[in-house]
Structure 1
Amino acid sequence: MPKITFIGRDGSRTEVDAEVGRSVMEVAIENDVDIEAACEGSLACATCHLVVDPAWYTKLDEPSEDETDMLDLAFGLTPTSRLSCQLRVTEDMDGISFTVPEDI
């Protein structure tokens, strides 16, 4: 299982084993990462927004147009922001880290 690290708003780090095929959002919620995920992964909000470590961003599939449109509504948007509900865990993600953005 790939290891994923979530970095909280306070800088705390949570490293977890992530099941391949699950969404990053599901992994985050199951491990008490502080994201809301209000729409439960239906791409209807931006409350599962996470910031991808820049070294990893280009290794991920590009966001869809729908995801990009929804990200425009996210607080704390960065050039490496993604909606965690749209990212599926793969073996290639071993070592990736995501930061929970500031809740402005």
Structure 2
Amino acid sequence: MEKILEEILCVLQELKNSNGKMKEKLTYTLDECAAISGIGKNTLLEETYKEDTTFPYFKVGRKIQVNRSKFERWLEDMAENHTELRGEKLKCVR
């Protein structure tokens, strides 16, 4: 997981350096989080529906948004604590 995080950071730095004017978004969608982290969208969605989740999301209407800096910290925390995702079955009520 730590190697994945390092690769993600390298790709982001390359993108930022390649055009110099990359505007940093304050929030991500779950699709963007999945693309950046390599974690599947369904796994991230499960994290949003966990009862005592630490996943840094909020909703705007029905749309799920994720705070960029808190998401990066969440990834670091997951790697440092060797946390296993998908440890529980999804218990969501829609």
TM-score normalised by the chain length of structure 2: 0.31
TM-score normalised by the chain length of structure 1: 0.30
Asked which structure has the greater CA Rg, the reply is 2
Whose strand proportion is higher, 1 or 2? 1
Higher relative contact order (CA 8 A, sep 6+): 1
Whose helix proportion is higher, 1 or 2? 2
